[in-house]
């Protein structure tokens, strides 16, 4: 069984502008992004999904795909809660080749500060953004 990401991430810049909670960049996923967990559960982030990518780290690092998956999981409250999305983010960074110390630091960052973004996705969904 294949574990980890089964596809590359292809993003295209979508819109610019800044708000209190959003960086002045947004990207649209060009092709589906597929991730398979070690337990065999498969997640597909659909083409057309809007993401802001990694919040505090460069876009070209091995955790970019994990960040896009994490953004998607934050929008899918029907699949899981925030804590589970954060755990899958950490797992996906590991399977992407991120060094252990880095994925633990990044994971702690989303556990501490991710509640703002999680609420923002909920507000955007309610407004149809």
What phi and psi, each to the nearest 5 degrees, are found at residue 59? Answer: -70, -25
What phi and psi, each to the nearest 5 degrees, are found at residue 33? Answer: -115, 120
Q: What is the pLDDT of residues 12-41, one digit of tens each?
A: 877 655 555 555 567 899 999 999 999 999
pLDDT for res 26: 78
| 127 confidence band (pLDDT: 50, 70, 90) | low
pLDDT for res 17: 58
pLDDT for res 11: 85
Sheet with 33-36: strands ordered across: 4-5, 33-36, 42-45
Q: What is the pTM of this model?
A: 0.82
- Strands (E) across 1-129 are located at 4-5, 11-15, 26-29, 33-36, 42-45, 50-51
Does 96 score more than 80 pLDDT? yes
Does 125 score more than 80 pLDDT? no
Q: What is the mean pLDDT of residues 94-120?
A: 86
Domain membership of residue 85 as a residue range: 4-127
Question: How many structural domains is the chain composed of?
Answer: 1
Name residues whose C-beta falls within 8 Å of residue 107's C-beta, 6 or more positions apart in sequence: 86, 89, 90, 93
């Amino acid at each position: 069984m294949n574990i980890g990401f089964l596809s590359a991430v292809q993003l295209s810049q979508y819109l610019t502008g800044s708000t209190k909670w959003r960086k002045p960049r947004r990207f649209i996923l060009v092709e589906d992004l597929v991730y398979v967990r070690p337990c065999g559960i498969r997640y597909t982030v659909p083409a057309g999904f809007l993401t802001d990518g990694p919040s505090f780290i460069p876009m070209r690092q091995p955790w970019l795909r994990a960040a896009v998956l994490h953004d998607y999981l934050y929008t899918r409250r029907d699949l899981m809660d925030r804590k589970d999305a954060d755990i899958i983010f950490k797992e996906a960074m590991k399977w992407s080749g991120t060094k252990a110390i880095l994925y633990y630091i990044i994971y702690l960052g989303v556990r501490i500060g991710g509640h703002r973004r999680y609420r923002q996705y909920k507000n955007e969904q309610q407004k149809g953004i």
